[in-house]
Amino acid sequence: MAMPSPLTPLRSEGAGKRKKETDARTAMRRMLLPFALVTVLGFVLGSTPLVMVGAIVWAGWFIYYVLLTRVLDPRGEDTPYVNQHSEIQAMVMRGQKERAAQAYREAITADPTDVLACEQLVQLAARELKDYELAVWACREAERRHALPGKKLTFGMMAAELYRDQLGDPRRAVVELSRLLSTYPDAPNAAALKEELELIKSHLFEAT
């Protein structure tokens, strides 16, 4: 079965404390005032260049605001995920891996929407700490939080692989694969999952 390896990097985003964007939005609104004056002045003086500059700036700030409040920060209160976990990532770089893992766990517990912390913890636990039970826990949290079925299935498969290979527990791998087939019966790789499940079962039968 071609299951994604827990050793494969998922994303390069860092991890850290969330910060409010109130000051950033306030600064943006203050910046808009002089640009608005430039646009109005251009209309009053009949200056086409001034009007064009004002229009371009207005468009640029509007796009930035939409990205900030609707795409990168849809809840309107936290910084974009790409900048959230830098402090924890710095811990890893300094060799404070156990501390970083605990910080990821705290971030995951504190925010039920933080998927990146789950993904980063999978990598840290599996690759650096060799704490495969923790990696399985992070996989389950990532599966639970992701909205797309394909992403959910990927992390479920990673948990099954951890059971099968790193933890050497084929019985738990069987349970995990059975759950995945029941939860995602229409998965594109359902046939491969069934084949892997039957293979593990046959090995267990031979071992008894």
pLDDT tens over the chain, length 208 residues: 455 454 444 443 333 334 444 544 555 555 555 555 655 555 556 556 655 655 565 566 556 555 555 444 444 444 445 455 889 999 999 999 999 999 999 999 999 999 999 999 999 999 999 999 999 999 999 999 999 999 999 999 999 999 999 999 999 999 999 999 999 999 999 999 999 999 999 999 888 7
Task: Please give the DSSP secondary-structure letter assigned to residue 15.
Answer: B
Q: Residue 78's pLDDT is what?
A: 45
- Rounded to 5 degrees, φ, ψ at 85 are -110, 25
Q: Residue 66's pLDDT is what?
A: 54
- Rounded to 5 degrees, φ, ψ at 20 are -70, 150
Task: Please give the DSSP secondary-structure letter assigned to residue 83.
Answer: G
Q: Residue 85's pLDDT is what?
A: 82
Q: Residue 1's pLDDT is what?
A: 47
Q: Which residues contact 92 (CB under 8 A, 6 or more apart)?
A: 100, 124, 128
Whole-model pTM? 0.63
Q: Residue 91's pLDDT is what?
A: 93
> 3-state DSSP call for residue 169?
coil
Say which amino acid occupies 136: V
Q: Residue 207's pLDDT is what?
A: 81
- Rounded to 5 degrees, φ, ψ at 195 are -60, -45
Task: Please give the DSSP secondary-structure letter assigned to residue 155.
Answer: H
| Assigned token pair, 137 | 């826990």
Q: Are the C-beta atoms of residues 192 and 2 closer than 8 Å to each other?
A: yes
